[in-house]
């Protein structure tokens, strides 16, 4: 059944099809969503779909905490993967080999640590699936040329000290 899916932003998602209508996707990308993505790890319907659809998919990926759904489905066991750095230790507890990078590829599995890593990963996938010229064109159109006004993440105390890390600390007992 297809229903509106609310988010923690004013935006809602309205799927075009139910899982049963897409049994053999070319690719799967599981988005993150902080603690809500982690709560979805208990949804057996989602995990069953991921296990089934990943079998034939050419690309299985995630952004940020979306990696936890892939791990909970058993798809990242002994595979290199990344997620937001505040969650890296927990991802390892689910059998993944956590790598602290913007994005990581291990066979047909690909994961991004967060939003900017997700953009990098998406551009890489466009180059791989279409061509580099198209990826460069997209990068130009979206004006993606990161030069953070306050320096890099590490220069500002690291990603472990942001709002997501604070939220993680508040919910750690539930997550573990």
pLDDT digits (tens, 9 = 90+) for 130-155: 999 999 999 999 999 988 787 776 65
pLDDT at residue 161 greater than cutoff 60: no
Give CA–CA dist 173/130, Å, rounded. 44
Reading phi first (left if > 0) and then psi (alpha if -120 to 50, else beta), residue 107 is in left
Residue written as tokens 């994961």?
Answer: 111
Instruction: Please give the pLDDT value at position 156.
Output: 60
The closest alpha carbon to 59, from 17, 110, 118, belongs to 110
Tell me whether residue 60 is exposed, middle or buried, using C-beta atoms within 10 angstroms of its C-beta: 0 to 12, 13 to 18, 19 or more: buried
**Whole-number Å distance between alpha carbons of 142 and 75:** 32
- Strand, coil or helix: 99: coil
Using one digit for the tens of pLDDT, what is the confidence trace for 42-74?
999 999 999 999 999 999 999 999 999 999 999
Residue 124 predicted with pLDDT over 60: yes
Which tokens is 133 given? 């010229």
pTM recorded for the entire structure = 0.85
């Amino acid at each position: 059944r297809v229903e509106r899916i609310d988010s923690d932003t004013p935006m809602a998602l309205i799927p075009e099809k139910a899982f049963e209508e897409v049994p053999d996707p070319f690719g799967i990308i599981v988005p993150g969503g902080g603690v809500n993505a982690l709560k979805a790890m208990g949804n057996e319907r989602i995990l069953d779909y991921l296990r089934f659809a990943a079998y034939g998919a050419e690309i299985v990926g995630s952004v940020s905490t979306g990696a936890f759904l892939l791990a909970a489905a058993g798809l990242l066991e002994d595979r290199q993967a990344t997620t937001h750095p505040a969650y890296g230790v927990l991802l390892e507890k689910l059998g993944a080999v956590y790598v602290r990078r913007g994005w990581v590829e291990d066979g047909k599995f690909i994961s991004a640590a967060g939003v900017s890593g997700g953009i990098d990963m998406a551009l890489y996938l466009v180059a791989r699936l279409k061509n580099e010229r198209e990826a460069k064109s997209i990068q130009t159109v979206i004006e993606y040329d990161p030069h953070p006004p306050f320096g890099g993440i590490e220069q500002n105390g690291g990603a472990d000290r942001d709002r997501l890390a604070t939220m993680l600390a508040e919910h750690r007992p539930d997550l573990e």
